[in-house]
Amino acid sequence: MRMWRQVGMLLAVALLAIPHVASAAQTGQADAIEAYAIPGEDVFPEGVAYQGTTRSFYVSSTTDGTIYRASLDDEEMTEFLPGDTVRTTAVGLAVDQYRRLFVAGGGTGKILVYDTLEGDLLAAYDNQQEETFVNDVAVGRTGDAYVTDSFYPVIYRISGTPGEGVFFEPWLNLEGTAIEYGDGFNLNGIVVSGDGSYLVVVQSNTGMLYRITVATQEITPVDVGDADLTAGDGLVLDGSTLYVVRNQFEEIVALRMTNTFTQASVTETVTDPSFAYPTTAAVAAGRLLVVNSQFDQRGGEPSVPFTVSSVDLP
């Protein structure tokens, strides 16, 4: 897909102007693991977080809250934290530089924090809301964690570092802002810019991207042209490239962001035969780890084992 023939300047320019659709299998590395198996017949995984210092990644189960772990060299994941009465379901995940694993608790309204070394529960927070779905987590370079709620119009923040005091707060009330909540899933995926100045969030039911300035809480819609990002679920930010995982469409849209994060243009759309209602992804050693939730098979016959696909970065 990336080999060019010199057939004239006009053709070259035309081809460069068109975002291309790539199948991940076309560019795969022969020696790379292409799928990681998750044990269990009723996992329905959702979140993923990569820990670069250990080359390990974590995946959550929405069914019972189990957290699985594997290194990039393992073909099968193992249980790291079995589900329990505190963590009955698990959705979005994030890992920070302090070895903390943040777990969003979906409809329970909980955000739980664990030590990745021993698995100890470090903190538990509850938003005390009945109509809630605590969905995704993103951690900035200072260790502050930001959490979306798909049903309740608030972004939460867990600020501070271990040993200096950690605080949980409903950081940004979205009522009366440019982000209008409606039926279905609203804010979902979230990322923090490399310098910590901005958040970027996707609203699943509208396909809108928004930039939020951390210092002022100003909300700015991101101009994505005619790109369709409805059913946008997890987000991944790698430098200036934003990956939007569109779950029911089983594709990942790559967009090039401007320095101010106010505009973005599609550079590629990635598909792969292994994608099965993908929910989110994580960058790991030059590849994308993509969670295959199979949410469309709840109550049906999902393919087992559940898997995490590993595909080349576009």
User: Tell me, what CATH number does 188's domain have?
Assistant: 2.130.10.10
Residue 7 lies in a domain: no
Element (H, E) at 310: strand 306-312
43-79 pLDDT, tens per residue? 999 999 999 999 999 999 999 999 999 999 999 999 9
Per-residue model confidence (pLDDT) at position 11? 34
Distances (CA, A) of 282 to 109, 130, 139, 176, 197: 24, 30, 13, 32, 21
E strand intervals along 162-301: 167-173, 187-192, 198-203, 208-213, 219-221, 232-238, 241-246, 251-257, 264-271, 278-284, 287-292
Domain range holding 193? 35-312
Supply the pLDDT for residue 192: 99
pLDDT at position 18: 41
| 19 found inside a domain | no
Local structure of residue 76 (DSSP, 8 states): B
Task: Give the pLDDT score at 62.
Answer: 99
Evaluate whether 174 touches 144 at the Cβ level (below 8 Å): no
Cβ-proximal residues to 189 (8 Å cutoff; 6+ apart), any chain = 136, 148, 201, 202, 232, 233, 234, 235, 244, 245, 280
Query: 24 in a domain, yes or no?
Result: no
Pick the closest to residue 135 from 154, 116, 121, 120 (CA basis).
154
Both ends of the chain: CA-CA distance in Å? 11
pLDDT reported for residue 145:
98
- Provide the 10 A C-beta neighbour count for residue 22: 21
The span from the CA of 65 to the CA of 89, in Å, is 4
- What pLDDT, on the 0 to 100 scale, is given for residue 3? 32
- Predicted confidence at residue 162, as pLDDT, reads 75
Residue type for position 59:
V
State the pLDDT at residue 29.
46
Residue for token digits 């502050």? 144
**Would you say residue 8 lies in a domain?**
no
Q: At which residue do the structure tokens 């509850």 appear? A: 126
Phi, psi of 30 (to 5 degrees): -65, -30
Residues in the chain, pLDDT under 50? 1-21, 25-30
Does some domain include residue 264?
yes
Domain count, the chain: 1
For 26, which DSSP code? G
Dihedral of CA atoms 104, 49, 100, 142 in degrees, nearest 10, equals -100
256-294 per-position pLDDT tens digit: 999 999 999 999 999 999 999 999 999 999 999 999 999
Residue 13 lies in a domain: no
Examine residue 74 and state whether it is found in any structural domain, yes or no. yes
44 lies in a domain? yes
pLDDT at 56: 98
Compute the 3-state secondary structure of the chain and give helix, strand, coil in percent, each to the nearest 5.
5, 45, 50
Nearest one of 221, 176, 226 to 202, comparing CA atoms: 221
